[in-house]
Structure 1
Amino acid sequence: MLLTTWQIIKLIIWGIIIINEIAALYTVFREKRDIAATWAWLLVLTLIPVLGFILYAFLGRKLPQDKMERIQSQTELELSAALEEQKKQFLDMPRPKKQTMRMYRRTIMLFQSIDNAFLTRHNQVDIYTDGQRLFQKMFDDLSNAQKSIHIEFYTIYNDRIGNQLRTLLEQKAAEGVEVRVLYDSWGSMGVKRSFYDALRQNGGLAEPFLMTHSNLFDFRLNYRDHRKIVTIDGKIGYVGGFNVGDQYLGRLPKFGYWRDTHLRVIGGGVYSLQQRFIRDWNASQRHVQDKIIHYRPYFPPITVKQGNTALQIVSNGPESPLEKIKLGYLRLINAAQDHIWIQTPYLIPDDSVLDALRIAIHSGVDVRIMIPCKPDHPFVYRATQYYARQLANEGATIYFYQNGFLHAKTMVVDGKMASVGSANLDFRSFKLNFEINAFMYDHHITDQLEQIFVNDIRNCKVMTPEMFAAQPVWLRFKQTFSRLFSPIL
Structure 2
Amino acid sequence: MADYLIWGLIILLIINTLAAIFTVFREPRPVSTIWAWLLVLILLPGFGFIIYYFVGRKLSSQNIFRIKNQEVYGMTGLKAKYLDSDQKHKEMAKFPKEVQKMIRLLYNSDHSIRTDNNQVQIFTDGQEKIDQLVKDIYAAKDSVHVQYYILTDDETGIKLVDALVDRAEAGLEVKLLTDAIGSRLLSKKSIRRMQAAGVQFESFFSKSLLLIVNFRLNWRNHRKIVVIDGFIGYVGGFNIADEYVGKGPLGLWRDTHLRIQGDAVKTLQSRFMIDWFASKKASPKDFDREYFPEPQVEGTTPMQIVSSGPDEESDQIKMGYLQMIHMAEKHIYIQSPYFIPDEAVFEAIQLAATSGVEVHIMIPFKPDHPFVYRASEYYAKQLLQNGVRIHKYREDSFLHAKTICVDGKVASVGTANFDIRSFALNFEVNAFIYDEEVVGKLEAIFEEDMKVSINADKEHFAKQTLWKKFRQSFSRLFSPIL
TM-score range, shorter-chain basis?
A: over 0.9
Matched, 1:231 2:227: yes
Equivalent residue, structure 1, for 2:341 = 349
Task: String of CA shifts for 1:336-367, please: whole Å, max 9, x gaps.
Answer: 11100010011111111111111110111110
* 1:34 to partner: Cα distance: 2.6
User: What is the alpha-carbon distance in structure 2 between the residues aligned to residue 59 and residue 173 of structure 1?
Assistant: 37
Q: Taking structure 1 as reference, are residues 389 and 141 closer, same or farther at Cα in structure 2, changes over 3 Å only?
A: same
Q: Given the alignment, which residue of 460, 472, 476 partners 1:479? A: 472
Task: String of CA shifts for 1:74-103, please: whole Å, max 9, x gaps.
Answer: 76622146437734378587984x8x5222
Equivalent residue, structure 1, for 2:192 = 197
User: What is the alpha-carbon distance in structure 1 between the residues aligned to residue 390 and residue 160 of structure 2?
Assistant: 37
Matched, 1:103 2:98: yes
* 1:141 to partner: Cα distance: 0.2
Equivalent residue, structure 1, for 2:373 = 381
Equivalent residue, structure 1, for 2:406 = 413
The answer on whether the counterparts of 1:379 and 1:482 sit within 8 Å (CA) in structure 2 is yes
Please tell me the residue identity of whatever aligns with 1:111.
Answer: L
Secondary structure at the aligned position of 1:315 is classed as strand
Matched, 1:278 2:273: yes
Give the superposed CA RMSD: 2.2
Structure 2 counterparts to residues 78-477 of structure 1, below 5 A: 78-80=74-76, 82-83=78-79, 86-88=82-84, 91=88, 96=93, 101-216=96-211, 217-218=213-214, 220-253=216-249, 255-288=250-283, 293-294=286-287, 297-305=290-298, 307-402=299-394, 403-477=396-470
User: What is the alpha-carbon distance in structure 2 between the residues aligned to residue 236 and residue 85 of structure 1?
Assistant: 20
* 1:21 to partner: Cα distance: 1.5
* 1:373 to partner: Cα distance: 1.2
User: What is the alpha-carbon distance in structure 2 between the residues aligned to residue 368 and residue 357 of structure 1?
Assistant: 10
Moved more, 68-77 or 409-418: 68-77
Secondary structure at the aligned position of 2:391 is classed as strand
The answer on whether the counterparts of 2:261 and 2:297 sit within 8 Å (CA) in structure 1 is no
User: What is the alpha-carbon distance in structure 2 between the residues aligned to residue 91 and residue 65 of structure 1?
Assistant: 29
Structure 2 unaligned runs (5+)? none
User: What is the alpha-carbon distance in structure 2 between the residues aligned to residue 434 and residue 364 of structure 1?
Assistant: 34
User: What is the alpha-carbon distance in structure 1 between the residues aligned to residue 209 and residue 235 of structure 2?
Assistant: 27
Structure 1 unaligned runs (5+)? none
Aligned residues: 479
Please tell me the residue identity of whatever aligns with 1:56.
Answer: Y
* 1:62 to partner: Cα distance: 2.9
Secondary structure at the aligned position of 2:286 is classed as coil
Please tell me the residue identity of whatever aligns with 1:263.
Answer: L
* TM-score, normalised via structure 1 length: 0.92
The answer on whether the counterparts of 1:338 and 1:414 sit within 8 Å (CA) in structure 2 is yes
* TM-score, normalised via structure 2 length: 0.94
Please tell me the residue identity of whatever aligns with 1:109.
Answer: R
Q: Given the alignment, which residue of 38, 43, 49 partners 1:47? A: 43
Q: Taking structure 1 as reference, are residues 94 and 267 closer, same or farther at Cα in structure 2, changes over 3 Å only?
A: closer
The answer on whether the counterparts of 1:193 and 1:213 sit within 8 Å (CA) in structure 2 is no
The answer on whether the counterparts of 2:155 and 2:242 sit within 8 Å (CA) in structure 1 is yes
* 1:32 to partner: Cα distance: 3.6
* 1:57 to partner: Cα distance: 3.4
User: What is the alpha-carbon distance in structure 1 between the residues aligned to residue 414 and residue 386 of structure 2?
Assistant: 27
Please tell me the residue identity of whatever aligns with 1:466.
Answer: E
Please tell me the residue identity of whatever aligns with 1:437.
Answer: N
* 1:192 to partner: Cα distance: 4.5
Secondary structure at the aligned position of 2:193 is classed as helix
Secondary structure at the aligned position of 1:230 is classed as strand
Task: String of CA shifts for 1:176-215, please: whole Å, max 9, x gaps.
Answer: 0100001110111233555311221222101011445342
Please tell me the residue identity of whatever aligns with 2:218.
Answer: N
The answer on whether the counterparts of 2:60 and 2:312 sit within 8 Å (CA) in structure 1 is no
Secondary structure at the aligned position of 2:127 is classed as helix
Task: String of CA shifts for 1:398-433, please: whole Å, max 9, x gaps.
Answer: 001124110000000001110000000111111111
